[in-house]
Structure 1
Amino acid sequence: MSATRHEDRVAQASQSPGAVTRLAASWRRSMVKHGLDPASATQRQRLSETELAQKLDQMGEFMSVAGPQLDQLFQLVCPTGCNVLLTDAEGIVLDQRVNDADASTFNEWGLWKGVNWSEALEGTNGIGTCLAEGRQVTIHRDDHFFARNTAMSCMDAPIWGPDGRIIAALDVSSARADQTERWNGLIGAQVAQTARMIEAAFFRASFPKARIIVAQHEATPDAALLLAVDKDDLMIGATRAARRAFGLEKEGSLRPRPAADLLGREDEATGFERAERATVIRALARAEGNVSQAARALGIGRATMYRRMARLGIGENSGRLSQP
C-alpha cells in the first residue's frame, strides 16, 4: 500500500466519531485527540543519556527482575530478526535485545532505547496503543497511524505493577517484509506469557517478607491470581487479576483483609492450606517432632510455628505419627 493511500485510509476512518473497530478508534484518538498527521515525518522524541539514566534508576528493581525474562524471550525470537523492547508506563524504551545485524535498521526506525513511543507522539503503534488501552495488541504494518511506521510489525502486552497500575509494556517488533499475521499471533502469545512472568516475578519481589498465595477464582478459572499474605494471615497485596477477581481496590494500596475471607470459609481447607499443612508436617517429621528445629527449617519463629500448627490443626506429635 502506498503512503498516500495509507494516509487517506487513516484520515477517512478517523473522521467518524463512532469508530466501529479498536484500530479505527486508535486512529481517531491519534488524529483528533493528539492532533497528529499520518503523513508527518517529524523527528522522534529521544531522551538524553542523562534523562534515560534517571529513568533507569527509578525503575532499577523492576529492570533487574525483568532482565532475565527479556533474555529468554529474545532467545526465542532472535532467529526471526526481531527486536525485544521494554518500556515504562509512558512508552519510553528502557531496555532492548537485538541482533547486531538488525540493530541499524531498528535504530533508524526509532525502536531504540530512550525513544518515546507513546500514542500521543507516535499515533497508533504497538507500544503506545497497548499502554493507552491497557491490553495486548498487535499492530501489523499499515495498522500503524504514521505512514513512516508501516514497514514494521509490533506485538505488545502490558505489564501491571503490584499497585494495579500499568508499569511497563513488553514489545517484540519485526522488520521482516514477509512477516505474516499468523506468525504475529505466535509471537504475540509468547510476549503475553513473558509479560505475565515478569509481572508475577516483580510482585513477589515487591513483598519479600510475605507469603505468596497462588489462588483461583471461578470468574477467571484459567488465570493465576497472586495474593501477598503477612505473618498474621492478612492479605496485604494482590495482582491486578486478583484485584479484579476478588472485587478488591482497583488501584493503589489495599485494605488488609483476612486471607480466609477471600479464599473460603475457615472451616474448609483450601488447596493452599492443604499444601501448607503438608509442608509443616514434613518439617516436623524431619525434625522428629522438635517444633523449634522445624520452625528454623521453615525460616519462621517458634511462636509463629505454634500459631500455624494451631490454625492448621496440627499437634506436636505430628513429626512422630503419620496423620490421616
Structure 2
Amino acid sequence: MSRSIGLAHIIRQKDGTSTGVWGLYTLQSAFQPIFAFKEGKLSLAAFEGLIRPFRDGEPQSPMSFFSTCPAADRLHIEALTRTLHLLNAGSCLPREASIFVNFDPSVFTERTIADNALREMRLVLHEAGIDPRRVVCEVTEQRSASQETLFSFVAALRGNGFRIAVDDYGADDSDINRIKDLKPDIVKFDAQWITQLMESGAGFALLTAMVKSFEDQGIRTVFEGIEESWQLELAEKSGASMVQGFVLARPELAPTRFHVFNSAEPAPAAPSDKTGREPLVPPTPARRAKAFGRRIVR
C-alpha cells in the first residue's frame, strides 16, 4: 500500500493543521482534555479526538454525518478520522499528553482489514511525529463481526506500544465480558450511567466499588460527561483516575488553545467566537464532596 486511505483524503492548512474531505463534507478535529487527579489537584493527562463535520461551511452533527455514510464506507471513514486526529495532535497538542482515538469493532470483519489498519496507523504516526506510547486506542460499544479478529487486532495494537481503552462502560453484563476479553489499560465510564449512580448513596457506593475493583487490576478509570462541580467532587471521592467534561474544558477545533496547559500560569478566559470555543477552565484543586445528588442553587 503506497498511501494511507486516511492521508489520501487530507488537506494541509497554512496554520499547520489538517482537514479531511469526504464527499460534500469537510471534516475537522476537535480535542477535549482529560484530567487526572493528583495530590488533590487536577493535571492535564490526555486529549480525546472528536470529529466535527461541516457542509457548505455550516456545522453538522457527527451523528447526521455518519448516518448519511453507506456501511461500505465506514472502514475508510474510520481510517480518515483517526488520521485527521493524529496529524492534528502532532501539530498543536502538548507533546507529553496522551491521545485517545476511536476504533469501531464492527468494521474489523477479517484479519487483513485489521493488518491494514495497523499498517496505516504506523505510517500516520511517523508522519505526525507521535510516539505510539502516547496513543490510547478506544474500542467503542459496537459489536465486532468477528471477535477473534478483534482480539487479534487489539493484541497487535498492544504489541506495537499502543494502550487500549474500553468506552461507554455501563450496567450491561456484556460490558463485564468486554473487560475480561480485551484486558484494557483504561475503562471510560458512560456519562449518563455515572450521573444516575451519583444520585444516591447506594449508587455511589457501587460506583466506588467498581472503580476500586478496576484499580486493583491495574486498570485506570475515566469518568466522562462531568458537567457540574458536584459531579467532579464525587468523581474524586470515588477514586476515579481521570475525568472529562464541560465543567473543566469543552472540545475545541484544531488549532486549539490548549497549549496554555504547558504553562504554570492559569489559562486565560476568553469569550466564545465563531468556532464555538468556550473559556477554558484551568486545573484547580478538587474539593471533597459532602453530599450526594444534585445541588440546588438558591
TM over 0.5: no
The answer to which structure has the higher strand fraction is 2
Question: If each structure's helix is expressed as a fraction of its own residues, which one has the higher value?
Answer: 1
Which bin holds the TM-score, normalised by the shorter protein? under 0.3
TM-score, normalised with respect to structure 2: 0.24
Provide TM-score, normalisation by structure 1.
Answer: 0.23
